[in-house]
């Protein structure tokens, strides 16, 4: 279950005037490697990854406002989503050469794309240092297509219902590696599905465990001159890291979803699906009393790394009806892409090393 809080903040930034001119001095400020001798630069092979920067950083690194805005729109706006230097249309020739020589535009490589029977797509991306992450594209009949992005390779939370959690934490994704998932989604699927309208940070990893890069990536996604997702349609989900949660609410204008999975600390210490009675529904009503939110009910999606089984549909409907009768806004979210292991809780490939399953408390063994 996820209780989704409404976004608290709003902000915007207007476009700068356009004026294109480059200089060696600007190159050195943007690309510190240029200050080193040519042999050292060649040996290090160092290039700046542009998608690691937000718009203010492009300006601070030496670009004039017009240059920064034109490059920003090539990366994220104007339906360009540039991945190669040939796609940097409209830039001054010298400025484009500087970018070509000293910057990379691409953070991920597509390894494979799997198509589920319901139209869902799962993209497997290879990272530069070897690991693979998974991103899910979920088309909908109501002019809405959602991308589910990953924020880590694996996850340290070890939630007992989640396949990704079996991996343990392998790596935090960088800002560029997170943003690039949305860029690829628009490049690959805008023609087929129409506009990619929604983003959910519900893929591999606990987003708030990687809060610095998630905050920055989310800000790039909602930038009005760039990818321009609506802040209300970018949702970051968390298992409940409280200090980071407070920071997110203070610094981000995007939506927040809290994954409850249970309504008592006893059960949250050893996660179990709701499959026997309505006591959790009644406690949930008390927990969210007075909090403006909507509640998403998500069934467990089976995989080889868990002991759980999905809750019967009739039980989920009964649970939803109890919440609705109390005046709460509650939705049953249908699983998508489960035949390609693309549904919620099914992403990743644990391999030989896996985190241990937690001991089942005696009082809950009957539920299994």
Could you list the active site residues?
Answer: 134, 344
Rounded Cα distance between 308 and 301, Å, is: 9
Quote the CA–CA distance of 355 and 353 in Å, as a whole number: 7
Q: Return all residues near 162 (Cβ < 8 A) that are at least 6 apart.
A: 155, 306, 345
- DSSP result, 16-33: PPP-----HHHHHHH-GG
State how far the Cα of 126 lies from the Cα of 300, in Å rounded to an integer: 27
β-strands 330-333, 293-298 pairing = parallel
Q: Could you tell me if 179 and 212 are in contact, meaning their C-beta atoms sit under 8 angstroms apart?
A: no
Q: In a 3-state reduction of DSSP, which class is residue 70?
A: helix
Separation CA 340–CA 167 (nearest Å): 18
Instruction: Return the closest-CA partner of residue 264 out of 290, 287, 246, 237.
Output: 287
Residue with tokens 């510190």: 32
Rounded Cα distance between 360 and 161, Å, is 13
How many Å apart are CA 127 and CA 118, to the nearest integer? 28
Q: Are 190 and 196 a contacting pair, CB within 8 Å? A: yes
Beta strands in the chain (DSSP E): 2-5, 48-49, 103-104, 109-115, 121-126, 132-140, 144-148, 152-154, 169-172, 198-201, 234-238, 255-259, 293-298, 330-333
Q: How many CB atoms lie within 10 A of CB 252?
A: 21
Instruction: Measure the CA angle with vertex 184, ends 225 and 98; round to 5°.
Output: 65
């Amino acid at each position: 279950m996820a209780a989704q809080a409404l976004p608290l903040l709003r902000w915007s930034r207007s476009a700068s005037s356009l004026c294109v001119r480059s200089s060696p001095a600007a190159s050195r400020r943007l690309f510190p490697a240029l200050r080193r001798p040519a042999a050292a630069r060649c040996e290090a092979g160092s290039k700046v990854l542009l998608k690691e920067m937000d718009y203010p950083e492009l300006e601070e690194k030496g670009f004039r406002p017009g240059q920064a805005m034109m490059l920003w729109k090539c990366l994220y706006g104007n339906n360009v989503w540039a991945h190669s230097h040939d796609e940097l249309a409209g830039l001054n020739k010298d400025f484009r050469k500087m970018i070509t020589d000293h910057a990379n535009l691409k953070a991920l490589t597509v390894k494979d794309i799997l198509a589920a029977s319901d139209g869902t797509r799962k993209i497997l991306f290879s990272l530069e240092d070897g690991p693979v992450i998974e991103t899910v594209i979920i088309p909908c009949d109501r002019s809405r297509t959602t991308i589910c992005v990953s924020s880590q390779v694996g996850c340290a939370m070890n939630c007992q219902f989640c396949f990704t959690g079996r991996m343990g934490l392998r790596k935090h994704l960088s800002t560029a590696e997170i943003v690039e998932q949305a860029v690829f989604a628009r490049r690959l699927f805008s023609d087929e599905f129409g506009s990619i309208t929604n983003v959910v940070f519900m893929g591999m990893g606990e987003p708030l465990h990687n809060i610095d890069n998630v905050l920055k990536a989310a800000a790039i996604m909602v930038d009005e001159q760039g990818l321009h997702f609506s802040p209300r349609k970018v949702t970051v989900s968390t298992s409940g890291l409280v200090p980071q949660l407070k920071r997110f609410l203070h610094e981000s204008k995007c939506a927040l979803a809290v994954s409850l999975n249970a309504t008592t600390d006893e059960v949250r210490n050893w996660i179990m699906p709701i499959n026997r009675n309505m006591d959790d529904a009644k406690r949930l009503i008390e927990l969210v009393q007075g909090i403006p939110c909507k509640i998403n009910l998500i069934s467990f999606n089976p995989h080889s790394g868990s002991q759980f089984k999905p809750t019967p549909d009739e039980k989920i409907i009964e649970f939803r009806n109890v919440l609705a009768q109390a005046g709460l806004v509650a939705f049953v979210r249908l699983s998508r892409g489960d035949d390609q292991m693309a549904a919620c809780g099914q992403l990743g490939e644990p391999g030989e090393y896996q985190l241990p399953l937690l001991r089942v408390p005696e009082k809950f063994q009957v539920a299994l």
